[in-house]
Amino acid sequence: MSAIYILWLRQLKRYFRTRIRILSSLGQPVLFLVSLGFGFGPLYQRAGAGNYLQYLVPGIIVMGILFPSVFSGIEIIWERQFGFLKETLVAPVSRFQIVLGRTLGGATTALFQGTIVLVICSIAGFRVANFFLLPVAFGFMFLIALLGNAIGTAIGSVLDDVQGFQLIMNFLVTPLFFLSNALFPVDGLPALLKLLVHLNPLSYGIDGLRGALSQAFLFGPGIDLVILGGVTSVLLGVGSYLFSRIEL
């Protein structure tokens, strides 16, 4: 138990001490907020679809959570050669405790990151529809952070060279984000794209968060929770299993 706690605490200390990384990972969501939110906003309004910012912001928050949390999982590749991971792998602590401490730590910092994005978006004009639903929003944010961490852990446990990292980001994580309902509404999409969005587990996380923040569910909170929770649990299992098989 104390091992999980200290590994969780370590992730938090690392996060709050590298301010440059906090800033750099805020850059991308803010850029999307400004360029898409304000760039397409008028067009969206003219099309009679309402306020685009209210639609887009949950997607931007997910972006602010997903990328850093995948990254914190995938760091395993680097850390097991040059970092602290080796120290934990030879310690008399079960691999499950290590992966749990790391994942919870990574998810906590990603949740914090998502909260900062939410605050920035609120300053930019986003309105939280119902403050009583904020705990639900944080719940979905935390699940998405866990999902990202689990993906990163699974990949980081299998790859043994940092070369593969860019490949994963370009061909897995970026499509996961863009081929979801993060940036555009699903109504009237071409059939293939619509199918992809429906198959993408992240879409359910975004829908859950959007429902809680802007009160506009597409799938409904129940389905969102079941699918996101289910996929996240499976991936956490896969990630822990692959992590437990790491040899140096």
Of positions 93, 116, 133, 238, contacts another protein by CB under 8 A: 93
CB of 105 to another protein, least distance (A): 12
Site size toward another protein, by CB under 8 A: 28
Residues 137-166 that bind another protein (CB under 8 A): 160-163
Is residue 247 near another protein by the rule CB under 8 A?
A: yes
Mask for 197-236, x = binds another protein (CB under 8 A): ----------------------------------------
Is residue 45 near another protein by the rule CB under 8 A?
A: no
| Closest CB to another protein among residues 2, 192 | 2
The distance from CA 112 to its chain's CA centroid, rounded to whole angstroms, is 11
Asked whether the beta carbons of 63 and 116 are under 8 A apart, the reply is no
Q: Which residues bind another protein (CB under 8 A)?
A: 2-3, 6, 10, 13-14, 17-18, 78, 81-93, 160-163, 247-248
